[in-house]
Amino acid sequence: MKFDTYHIDSAIKRNLAAEGFKRPTDIQFKAIPSIQKGEDVLAIAQTGTGKTAAFAIPIIDKIHRAKSSKRSFGIHCIVMVPTRELAAQIGEVFNTLSQHTKVKAFALFGGVEQDPQIKKLKDGIDVLIATPGRMFDLISQGAIDVKKVGILVLDEADQMLDKGFIKDIESVKKKLVQRHQTLFFSATINKEIKKLAFSQVKSSAIRIQVSPDDPVSKNVTHGVLSVEMDDKRFFLRKFIQDNADARIIVFVRTKVRAERVAKALERVEIKSLTIHGSKDQEERTAVMGQFKSGWAKILIAADVSARGIDIPDVDFVVNYDLPDKKENYVHRVGRTGRGTQKGQAISFCSAEEAPLLEEIQGFLNKPIELIPMGKKEYSLIIGVAEEPETIKDLIQANEDWEKDRKKSRKNKSKKNKS
């Protein structure tokens, strides 16, 4: 079945064709008809399989058909997301697919001046994509009116609920005076989060699961390499040099690690960009623009960006550090192999990280392929490396690691007690 045969406006079909969308993905095929019927939907599908378009296409079509002109007299749909990067990315999808229609979409998030955002809201929009903090701030100021909202979407619903946004979600739903449709979309979800999700949708909600037994997209080939913590920078350097023309996202555990890895690459004249929570929103937006434009082919990111990077031509993902949260592995590797493209992911696992690898494999319900590495080959990679870091740097690296692990254990202990 092709998009040409769908009962959607011709302008949307042209936009889809211009973006190379010919046939719907599994999640789009299963979700679009239910959304068009006005049904509540709880959908779980792998990262990179087109979840955003699965709800954007029918929402844009529904609003476009209901409007008599391009003028907007109130927000008809709210898409709530957990991060700024994700809000910006979804805003781009809506704006691309709504070209030449009567629908206006706007991405709202914190970290930037609110006055231009308030002006945009006053000019009139139909779809608001927002992070909870800034949205509630502007609702309290009277800049956002939700009386006409008929559709509420929670994207990356698991993270929204896991981060404690359930009260925010309930607060928004209480403000919706019209009968409304609720859509939950996520790549991963556990039993506890699923209960919370079901509490927010109608009992008749359509439940969609695409490849639930394997949360990693079939387009992504992924493996793990045993590398000692102090040797990781040498292996990253070799990997980048062996794939000189590739666009690569390197995931690390903390912002400190991100900057340290960037400096290690700089010492061997490899240009890279970093993105993490310590950068303000303007810096983060600029970094994403530079990475998309090809100014640098290497992006070093902390998990703040694991769910908000949607760049179709990322060739490789490198897990320089394994994530503390097993679910984040799925979101990290899902930054490659998006849509119909193929991608590869490689993880560097040190002896200290073995328990994390075990948790991830348990979550995936299968082992990750171990990439064989002989002692001679290993020695050659670290033997031709640059001058070692100073003793001070090595001590600091170890302290950062220990501090990070203690924090992780403390958080897990708190979670188990609650």
pLDDT attached to residue 306:
60
pLDDT attached to residue 414:
54
pLDDT attached to residue 212:
61
- In angstroms, the CA 82 to CA 393 distance is 34
Average pLDDT for 170-180: 86
Q: Does domain 220-401 have CATH number 3.40.50.300?
A: yes
Could you tell me the end-to-end alpha-carbon distance of the chain, in angstroms, rounded to an integer?
Answer: 48
Residue 411 binned pLDDT confidence (cut-offs 50, 70, 90):
low
Domain ranges of the chain: 3-209, 220-401
Q: For 187-240, how does the pLDDT look when each residue is reduced to its tens digit (9 = 90+)?
A: 777 777 677 777 777 778 888 877 666 778 888 999 999 999 999 999 999 999
Residue 251 binned pLDDT confidence (cut-offs 50, 70, 90):
very high
The mean-pLDDT minimum among 139-143, 192-196, 281-285, 363-367 falls in 192-196
pLDDT attached to residue 403:
67
Average pLDDT for 298-309: 77
Residue 392 binned pLDDT confidence (cut-offs 50, 70, 90):
low
- In angstroms, the CA 107 to CA 96 distance is 13
pLDDT at 296 over 80: yes
SS3 of 393, please? helix
Q: 25 or 397: which carries more pLDDT confidence? A: 25
CB 137 within 8 A of CB 114: yes
- In angstroms, the CA 28 to CA 146 distance is 27
The mean-pLDDT minimum among 62-66, 275-279, 281-285, 400-404 falls in 400-404
pLDDT attached to residue 416:
47
pLDDT attached to residue 400:
65
SS3 of 145, please? coil
What percent of the chain has pLDDT above 90?
54
pLDDT attached to residue 159:
76
pLDDT attached to residue 210:
77
Residue of 47, 88, 60, 57 lying closest to 339 (CA atoms): 47
| Annotation: CATH topology of 3-209 | Rossmann fold (3.40.50)
The owner of tokens 């896991």 is 162
pLDDT attached to residue 417:
46
Q: What is the pTM of this model?
A: 0.72
pLDDT at 128 over 50: yes
pLDDT attached to residue 247:
95
Domain 3-209 matches domain 220-401 at the CATH topology level: yes
The mean-pLDDT minimum among 147-156, 173-182, 190-199, 371-380 falls in 190-199
